[in-house]
Amino acid sequence: MKTDAKSLHNIDQEYHLQTYRRYPLVLATAKGCRVWDTEGNEYLDALAGIAVNNVGHCHPKVVEALRQQAGKLMHISNFYLSEPLARLCERLAKLSGMDRVFLSNSGAEAVEGAFKIARKYAHKQGKGGGIVYMDNAFHGRTLATLAAGKEAYQQGFEPIPSGFHKVPFNDVAALEKMLNKEIAAVILEPVQGEGGINVADRHFLQEVSALCQSRDILFILDEVQCGIARTGEMFAKDHFGIQPDLLCLAKGLGGGVPIGAVLAMQKAADAITYGDHGSTFGGNPLVCAAALANLDVIEEEDLVLEAIRKGKYLKKALYDLKHPLIEKVRGLGLMLGVVLHTKAAPVVQEMLRLGVLANATAGNILRLVPPLVISYEEIDQLVNVTHTALNNIQNA
C-alpha cells in the first residue's frame, strides 16, 4: 500500500467529504514546535493546529497521561462518573472563578451548550430567547453557531435558526439599543480569531458586562481560541477585569485531543436540570486525563508568562522588519494578527515553501498562533521566513 503524499491525497479526494482545501503535503509526526511530512521535510509550526497545541506537539506529560488512562478506562456513559472528569471540572472551576462545568467535544458544542443554558434561563424569567452577537464573529459551524456568525458562512444552509441579532464590535451604543426583553444573552470573543485577531476594547467589555448584569441578560464569552494561556492570561477575560455568566473553551484545553467546555456561574447553571443537555463522548476519561496533564504543563512551565514575553518579542521583531507590506500587528500574547497591505494567502503559501506553517484569515491577516513553548530561536526563524516570504511576494 502506497503511503506517499500523492497517493494519500488521491484517497482523501475520493473518499473524504470535500470540505477542506488541503495543502499538498501530508503530516506524519510532530514534536514541540516542529512537524514532519511523509517525505521527511521539517516545518516550524506557527499555527499549532489553530491555537490547539499550546504546550507543543506530543508533550511527554500529555502523551504519558493518555497512555496511562488508555490502559485503564477510555470511555463510559455519563450515567457514571470517572475521577478524571471530576478532577477536571474542579480544576477549571477553581482556575476560572466559575461555579459549574459541562464538558463537550468541541468549541461549537460548547457555544451551543451556552445558547441552550441562556435560553432556558431567559424563558424561566418570562423573556425571549434572542442572542446578540458581534460583527466579524465566529462561533462554530453548526447551524446555531452559524446563525451567530458571518453571512458568508450561512449561504446555502437556509433556513438559518432565528433569534440571532448582530451589532458592531466595540460599539456600546449599538449594543444598548438592541437589549430588550426579547434578548436572552450577549456573546462575543474577547479576541476575535477568524474575524482577524481583533481585540475587544476594555471599556467596551466592561460596559457589556454591566449592561447584561443590570438587565438580567446572560453574558457569554467565547474563549475557544483565545483561552487557556494563549493571550498571556489563563483566560482572556482576566485581561479586562470581567466575569461572564458563561465561558466557552476548547482548542487549547486538551493538549491536542478533542474537548470543549462551557463554564457557568450558579445563577445560569440553575436554569438547567436533568435531561436538558448531554453528550455521549463529552468528558470521557481519556480526554479529561489529557486536559489535566495539559493544565499541569501550563502551570509547571509558566506558559502564561511565556506567552506574554514571547508575544512581545515576536510583535517587536515583526515591527522591526519595517516591511512596506506590514501595516500593523495586533493581538495579545501569542495570538497575533499581522495586518498586511496585500492578501495573506499567497504569503502563507510562500512561508510553507520556506518551511513554516502559518494561516491567513479575514483576507489580509497573517495569523500567528504558535505553541507557547516556542523558543526565541524559533521565533527568530519565524520572523526571518515571514520577511523572506513578504519580499518574494512583493517582488513576484
| Domains in the chain with CATH codes | 5-55+302-395 (3.90.1150.10), 61-300 (3.40.640.10)
pLDDT of residue 396: 83
Cα 135 from chain centroid? 17
pLDDT of residue 2: 64
Average pLDDT over residues 275-284: 97
Alpha carbons 262 and 260: distance in angstroms, whole number = 7
Q: What angle do CA 133, 136, 138 make, to 5 degrees?
A: 70
Q: Over 80: is that where the pLDDT of 1 sits?
A: no
Among residues 236, 231, 282, 229, the alpha carbon closest in space to that of 257 is found at 282
Q: Residue 60, preceding bond cis, omega within 30 degrees?
A: no
- Using CA atoms, how far residue 182 sits from 37, 214, 319, in Å, is 52, 15, 46
Considering 115, 138, 164, 169, which one is annotated as catalytic?
138
Mean pLDDT, all residues of the chain: 97
Interval 34-57: pLDDT, tens: 999 999 999 999 999 999 999 999
Given a contact cutoff of 8 angstroms between Cβ atoms, the answer to whether 137 and 195 are in contact is yes
Percent of the chain with pLDDT strictly greater than 90: 99
Using pLDDT thresholds of 50, 70 and 90, give the confidence band for residue 27.
very high
Alpha carbons 43 and 32: distance in angstroms, whole number = 11
* Radius of gyration for the chain, computed over Cα atoms and rounded to the nearest angstrom: 21
Q: Over 70: is that where the pLDDT of 378 sits?
A: yes
Helix, strand or coil for residue 226?
coil
To the query of whether residue 343 is one of the catalytic residues in this protein, the response is no
Q: Over 70: is that where the pLDDT of 73 sits?
A: yes
Considering 102, 222, 245, 315, which one is annotated as catalytic?
222
To the query of whether residue 12 is one of the catalytic residues in this protein, the response is no
Interval 210-257: pLDDT, tens: 999 999 999 999 999 999 999 999 999 999 999 999 999 999 999 999
pLDDT of residue 173: 97
To the query of whether residue 222 is one of the catalytic residues in this protein, the response is yes
Q: Over 70: is that where the pLDDT of 22 sits?
A: yes
Alpha carbons 167 and 211: distance in angstroms, whole number = 15
Query: Sheet harboring 183-188: ordered strands across?
Result: 100-104, 260-264, 246-249, 218-222, 183-188, 130-134, 164-167
Interval 299-344: pLDDT, tens: 999 999 999 999 999 999 999 999 999 999 999 999 999 999 999 9
Helix, strand or coil for residue 366?
strand
Considering 166, 237, 251, 310, which one is annotated as catalytic?
251
